[in-house]
Structure 1
Amino acid sequence: MKRIIVLIAAIGLGACKPNQGLITTSQAPQQAPGSVSKAPDKEESTVAKVDATKVDVNWMTLDEAVKKADAEKRPIFIDVYTDWCGWCKVMDRETFNDPVVAKLLNDKFYPVKFNAEQTADVKFKGHVFKFVPSGDRGYHQLAAALLNNQLSYPTVVFLNENFDMLQPLPGYRKAPEFHMMAQFIGEGHYKTEKWNEWQSHYKSPYGSQRNEP
């Protein structure tokens, strides 16, 4: 535990706690290790009908994102998930499968998928993060650092162009709510205005489907 705290501080990933950063949100469905809660097989779809063209998120590894950012600066978006997390699967199907969300992630971020229980070492910002066996599953040190040691899934994480933490946001988010958050970060609005100011003039591409956090 002490090593994780040191790593969080050393790489600048402990600047804020969930729901205490740039974006303030209500409680969202999530699962912690050992949780017996189960996400619904079918969630009412919020996939945007504003564009029928299928768009896939161009997911990449963190290493690939860092290399791309060396050539062209962009914030990094990280979806921290596990294979057993039901709400992670719902978010894949209903949020990241949304063409408007996918286009925003592709255009404004380097989008990364990170399995919080992967066993391969990851080098990031001069540190090597490893898998830690614990209980029935274990966890990856990078996941613990990104999530401020609060391991619940799904959690999405926003890093700025210098790979410093902007904010982790735990829980399942429907496409309209997520789009508002991602556009706030991806287009740099957070640098000049507060979250409540952004909410007041944000123009939702979902019309009446707009879902404020």
Structure 2
Amino acid sequence: MNLIKTLLAASFLWAGAVLADPPPGYPFVGYDAGLKAARASGKPIFLYFGRYGCAWCDHTNKQTFSDAALKKLYTENYELVYVDAESGKRLTLPSGERITEAELGVRLQAFATPLFVYLTPQGDKIVQIPGFKTVQDFRDYDRYVRGGHYKQKNLLEFLGGKS
């Protein structure tokens, strides 16, 4: 009996270690609410695709999104949207089409998580970036997006010049 209790406790601890919810303390909302807020505020959208069991999402949340200055930068300047890349939750695209979060993930090729997508306030894609990223990476992406550099050059050109 003690062995069963120990195994159950261990499985709960392990499962908790791989959960990949949005980073704690950030005001992430669903896709529909984020798009509506962005249209009203004029802020770009920072869309975070995660999923249950994504160890890299968890690592990103703990190592990168725990930075207080990054949290301030992104909460003040973006509408933050979290989408579960495997969820059946329904959402509405800017066109009015209704699809699931998982279908949005397929359309944006979110085959691996985490995936970060920057969108205009109208919901048009600016750039998408896969994988674990550092605090400095997100600062660079912020300069690229909010500085409007995406209108003149792609992200790699921008990062090569560090404008």
Q: Return the TM-score normalized by structure 1.
A: 0.58
CA shift for structure 1 position 197: 4.6
Identity %: 23
Q: Does 1:144 align with 2:71?
A: no
1:171 counterpart residue number: 131
Alignment of 1:127-138 (within 5 A): 127-130=97-100
Q: 1:194 to 1:142 in 2, by over 3 A?
A: closer
Q: 1:152 to 1:198 in 2, by over 3 A?
A: closer
Query: Take 1:146 and 1:92, find their aligned partners in 2: how far apart are those partners?
Result: 21
Q: Does 1:101 align with 2:70?
A: yes
Alignment of 1:65-76 (within 5 A): 65-76=34-45
- Matched-pair contact (CA < 8 Å) for 2:35–2:121: no
Query: Take 1:69 and 1:177, find their aligned partners in 2: how far apart are those partners?
Result: 23
1:183 counterpart residue number: 143
Name the structure where helix makes up a greater proportion of residues. Answer: 2
CA shift for structure 1 position 90: 0.5
Runs of 4+ in 1 over 3 A off after TM superposition: 192-202
Q: Which amino acid aligns with 1:74?
A: K
- Matched-pair contact (CA < 8 Å) for 2:115–2:130: yes
CA shift for structure 1 position 182: 2.4
Query: Take 2:106 and 2:154, find their aligned partners in 1: how far apart are those partners?
Result: 28
CA shift for structure 1 position 198: 5.7
1:120 counterpart residue number: 89
SS across alignment from 1:141: helix
2:11 counterpart residue number: none
Alignment equivalent of 1:63, drawn from 14, 20, 32: 32
Count of residues in correspondence between the two structures: 139
SS across alignment from 2:70: helix
Q: 1:197 to 1:83 in 2, by over 3 A?
A: closer
CA shift for structure 1 position 71: 1.7
Alignment equivalent of 2:122, drawn from 157, 162, 176: 162
Unaligned runs of 5+ in 2: 1-16, 18-23
- Matched-pair contact (CA < 8 Å) for 2:92–2:99: yes
Query: Take 1:152 and 1:120, find their aligned partners in 2: how far apart are those partners?
Result: 19
CA shift for structure 1 position 58: 1.9
Alignment of 1:32-51 (within 5 A): none
CA-based RMSD of the aligned residues comes to 2.3
SS across alignment from 1:168: strand
2:13 counterpart residue number: none
Alignment equivalent of 2:113, drawn from 143, 146, 153: 153
Q: 1:158 to 1:145 in 2, by over 3 A?
A: same
Q: Which amino acid aligns with 1:152?
A: A
Q: Which amino acid aligns with 2:127?
A: Q
SS across alignment from 2:86: coil
Bigger drift between 186-195 and 151-160 goes to 186-195
CA shift for structure 1 position 171: 0.8
